[in-house]
């Protein structure tokens, strides 16, 4: 159902444009993709960049995975992905935090008082134009970013960092020799217990 709805929306947007305008091809990739299919998509030569106007992704694993391709990753300048997307090497769009609409509130999931990030559409337009116009520059920056990500966010780097944190903060018990004093024999008389029949 959502695939049909998306296609319907795409058609309605295209229908608002004059028929004489040369419109770019738009591809809808819909449904679950395997890791191999995602990898193939990310490395497809027709895919030039990833754009994410997320309202609040958290860490943003797809952004990290795509950034490792060395292609430009255009994202919002807010949320967990700014831990690894350097603004000097990735175009990060500004915007502002706004309270959730009442209709979005879900008990114990999206609570009242929470906020979402709304991207500034002028920033989005600026970066889309800039990345297209200066693709070689952004592509080079993205390759530098990919190298840093491979170095700092690989399994081995994370493992090393975790070991360092554990070594600094957790003391592991060690076995020690227990030396008890010798106990002298007591001089108490031996008790004889009655035998019950």
Whether 190 maps to a domain, the answer reads no
* pLDDT of amino acid 63: 94
Dihedral angle of Cα 185, 186, 187, 192, to the nearest 10 degrees = -110
Query: Domains in the chain: how many in total?
Result: 1
* pLDDT of amino acid 197: 65
How do residues 57-90 score in pLDDT, each as one tens digit? 778 889 999 999 999 999 999 999 999 999 999 9
Question: Does residue 60 contact residue 81 with C-beta atoms inside 8 Å?
Answer: yes
Whether 196 maps to a domain, the answer reads no
Task: Give which of 65, 105, 98 is closest to 81, Cα–Cα.
Answer: 65
Whether 13 maps to a domain, the answer reads yes
Whether 193 maps to a domain, the answer reads no
Whether 182 maps to a domain, the answer reads no
Whether 197 maps to a domain, the answer reads no
Whether 186 maps to a domain, the answer reads no
How do residues 85-108 score in pLDDT, each as one tens digit? 999 999 999 999 999 888 888 888
CA 177 to chain centre: 48
| 98, β-bridge pairs | 116
Question: Does residue 60 contact residue 79 with C-beta atoms inside 8 Å?
Answer: yes
Alpha-carbon distance 191 to 81, whole Å?
Answer: 78
CATH number at residue 70: 3.40.50.2000
* pLDDT of amino acid 94: 95
Pairing mode, strands 92-93 and 73-76: parallel
Question: Domain of 123?
Answer: 2-169
Whole-number average pLDDT of the chain:
90
Whether 126 maps to a domain, the answer reads yes
Which residues of the chain have a pLDDT value below 70?
21, 186, 197
């Amino acid at each position: 159902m959502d695939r049909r709805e998306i296609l319907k929306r795409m058609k309605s947007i295209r229908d608002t444009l004059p028929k004489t305008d040369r419109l770019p091809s738009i591809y809808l990739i819909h449904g679950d993709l395997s890791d191999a299919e995602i990898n193939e998509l990310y490395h497809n030569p027709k895919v030039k960049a990833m754009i994410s106007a997320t309202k609040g992704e958290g860490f943003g694993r797809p952004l990290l995975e795509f950034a490792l391709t060395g292609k430009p990753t255009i994202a919002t300048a807010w949320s967990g992905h700014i831990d690894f997307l350097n603004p000097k090497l990735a175009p990060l769009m500004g915007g502002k935090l706004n309270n959730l609409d009442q209709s979005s509130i879900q008990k114990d999931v999206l609570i009242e008082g929470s906020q979402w990030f709304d991207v500034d559409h002028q920033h989005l337009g600026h970066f889309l134009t800039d990345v297209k116009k200066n693709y070689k520059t952004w592509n080079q920056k993205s390759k530098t970013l990919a190298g840093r990500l491979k170095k700092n966010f690989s399994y081995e780097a994370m493992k090393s960092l975790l070991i360092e944190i554990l070594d600094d903060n957790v003391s592991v018990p060690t076995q020690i020799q227990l030396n008890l004093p010798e106990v002298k024999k007591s001089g108490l008389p031996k008790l004889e217990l009655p035998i019950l029949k």
